[in-house]
Amino acid sequence: MLIVNVIVLLLLDFYIFFALKATKIKFAKTKTFGILWWGYSILLSLGVIISFKFNIPLLVRSVFLVAFFLTAASKFFFFFVLILDDLRRGGLWLKRLLTPKKTIKQAVNVLEMPIAEEPVKGITRSDFLTKAGILVGASPLVPLSWGIISGAYDYRVRRQKLYLPNLPAAFHGMKIGQISDVHSGSFYNRKAVNGGVDLLLNEKPDAIFFTGDLVNNVASEMRDYQDIFSRVKADLGVFSSLGNHDYGDYYFGKEDSAAKRKNLQDLIETHKVMGWDLLNDENRILKVNNEELAIVGVQNWGTGRFPKHGDLQKALLGTEEQSVKLLLSHDPSHWRAQVLDTDIDVMFAGHTHGMQFGVRLKNVQWSPAKYVYKEWAGLYREKNNKQLYVNVGYGFLGYPGRVGILPEITIFELIKGNDPKARV
C-alpha cells in the first residue's frame, strides 16, 4: 500500500509538472524548476519508503510523513482543477472535430488548428485555471498544518450518561473512562501524550476501557510509551481489547508466520505488563456490594476487508445470569452485524477516528466518516435500548494531526433507569 501511494503521487507529479510547463509561468519553463520539482518529489518518496522499512528516529519519520501528507493533499486539489480544464479543452476539441465541414481539407485543418482559448482578464482560460489551481492546491496547507500543530494532541474529555434500566443499584453512578486507537507508532511528543493520560486519571474513573489499536503495526512501537500508559489504572480495573492494527497484518501480511505470531504475543504481553486485562473473547464479572455486571471483550471483528477474529458467543459464555453486559469491540460495524442480536446492553468501540477531520459541536457533528460508517462517533441507540458508543480515538494514523475531530477521552456515568430524552 505504501508503494502504491508513492506511485500515485509520482503520477500526479508528472501530470502537474507538464501542465505547469505549458503555462506562461516563466519559472516553470526553467531547468531550475525541473530540478527543484523532481528533486523534492524523489527525495520525499525515498524518505517515506526508508522511514517504513528501516528503524530511523521517530522525529525524522514524522517529518517525512507530514511532508508527504501535505504534499499529496495539495497536489490532489491541484489535480482536480487541472483535470477540469483538460476536460473542457477536450470538449472543445471534440466539438470542432465533429462540426460538419464543407471539404476534407477544411476538416484536416480543424485537427491541426490549436484550440482557441477564451481570455479571462488578459490571460487565457487555461492559464487562469492553472494559476487558480495553484491557489486551490495551497488552500489545504493552512488547516492541515494547524491540525498538526494544534489538533494532534488537543485531548478533549467528553462526558456521557448511560441509562440502563436493569443496572444493579450498586453500580448506579459508576464512572467508566474510555480511550481507543492509541496508535503509538505515530506519536512524536511524549510530554503531550503524558498530559492526555493526566486528563484521564484526573477524572478518577472506577474502571477504564481501552478498545483496540494500541500500535500501528508492531509491538515495539510501544517501547517509548509503555511507561506512560502503565500509569492508566482504576480501582475496578483496566480492561482492553484488540483492534485490526494490533495483529500486524499491515506489516507482516495476512499470512501466518512465526514473526507475526511472536509480534502478537509481544503485544499481548505489553497489555499484561501495563496491568491491563486484555479480553480476547472472554468476560469478567465485576462485583460491588454483592451485586454484579459483566464486562465482555472480543478480538477484532469488522465487516468488509477488516479481520474477523472475534468470537462473540465464546466471549459471552458464563454471562447468562448477568442483568447488564458491557462489550468492548473495536469496530463499530460489529454492532449491527452481530451484537444487536444478543442481550448486550452497551458496546464500546473506536476504529473510525472520525477520519480525523470534520466538525464536532454539542448538537452537530459531521465528517467524511459518516459516508463509510453508519455509526462513527458518539452515542447510538437501537431497539430495546441497545446502545453503542464510538470513541474517535486518542492517537492518529496517516495524517499526523486532527482538524475538528479532536482526540477523545470519554467519561461515562452509569445511571439506573430510562433516559428521559431517548427516542427509540
Last residue of a domain, one of 81, 113, 139: 139
Instruction: Note the residue count of the chain.
Output: 424
Q: Is residue 147 part of a domain?
A: no
Regarding whether 184 and 117 lie in a shared domain, the answer is no
Q: How confident is the model at residue 303 (pLDDT cuts 50, 70, 90)?
A: very high
What is each CA distance from 242 to 213, 301, 302, in whole angstroms? 6, 10, 12
Helix (H, G, I), strand (E, B) or coil at 349: strand
Q: Determine contact, residues 209/348, Cβ cutoff 8 Å.
A: yes
Regarding whether 123 and 184 lie in a shared domain, the answer is no
Closest CA to 406 of 51, 148, 44, 194: 148
pLDDT at 63: 60
- More confident of the two residues 24 and 247: 247
Residue range 275-294: mean pLDDT, rounded: 97
pLDDT at 107: 46
Cell numbers describing residue 84: 477540469
Q: Is residue 148 part of a domain?
A: no
Q: Is the pLDDT of residue 21 over 60?
A: yes
Q: Which domain holds residue 90?
A: 2-139
Bridge-based pairing of strands 277-278 and 238-241 is: parallel
Q: Is residue 422 part of a domain?
A: no
Regarding whether 211 and 358 lie in a shared domain, the answer is yes
Regarding whether 170 and 246 lie in a shared domain, the answer is yes
Q: Determine contact, residues 171/291, Cβ cutoff 8 Å.
A: yes
Cα distance between residue 409 and residue 158, in whole Å: 6
How many domains does the chain divide into?
A: 2
Cell numbers describing residue 306: 477488516
Closest CA to 378 of 423, 337, 336, 348: 348
Q: Is residue 144 part of a domain?
A: no
Grid cell 512501537 in the structure block, residue: 221
Last residue of a domain, one of 139, 164, 185: 139
What confidence tens digit (pLDDT) does each residue in 368-384 have? Answer: 788 889 999 999 999 78
Q: Is the pLDDT of residue 126 over 70?
A: no
Last residue of a domain, one of 112, 139, 166: 139
pLDDT at 215: 97
Cα distance between residue 417 and residue 166, in whole Å: 7
Q: Determine contact, residues 336/279, Cβ cutoff 8 Å.
A: no
Percent of the chain with pLDDT over 70: 81
pLDDT at 366: 87
Residue range 138-162: mean pLDDT, rounded: 77
Regarding whether 128 and 265 lie in a shared domain, the answer is no
Regarding whether 130 and 167 lie in a shared domain, the answer is no
Regarding whether 281 and 205 lie in a shared domain, the answer is yes
Regarding whether 89 and 166 lie in a shared domain, the answer is no
Residue range 168-194: mean pLDDT, rounded: 96
Regarding whether 227 and 121 lie in a shared domain, the answer is no
Cell numbers describing residue 329: 469491540
Grid cell 500500500 in the structure block, residue: 1
Regarding whether 164 and 120 lie in a shared domain, the answer is no
Beta-carbon neighbour count of residue 16 at 10 Å?
Answer: 21
Q: Determine contact, residues 24/117, Cβ cutoff 8 Å.
A: no
Q: Is residue 226 part of a domain?
A: yes
pLDDT at 271: 98
Residue range 241-259: mean pLDDT, rounded: 94
- CA quadruple 323, 328, 334, 337: dihedral, nearest 10: -10
Q: Is residue 235 part of a domain?
A: yes
Residue range 290-310: mean pLDDT, rounded: 95
β partners of residue 412: 160, 176
**Mean pLDDT for the chain overall:** 85
Residue range 21-42: mean pLDDT, rounded: 81
Q: Is residue 424 part of a domain?
A: no
CATH number for 206: 3.60.21.10
DSSP result, 24-62 = S-GGGGSHHHHHHHHHHHHHHHHHHHHHHHS---HHHHH
Q: Is residue 58 part of a domain?
A: yes
Regarding whether 188 and 55 lie in a shared domain, the answer is no
Regarding whether 179 and 80 lie in a shared domain, the answer is no
Cell numbers describing residue 154: 488537543
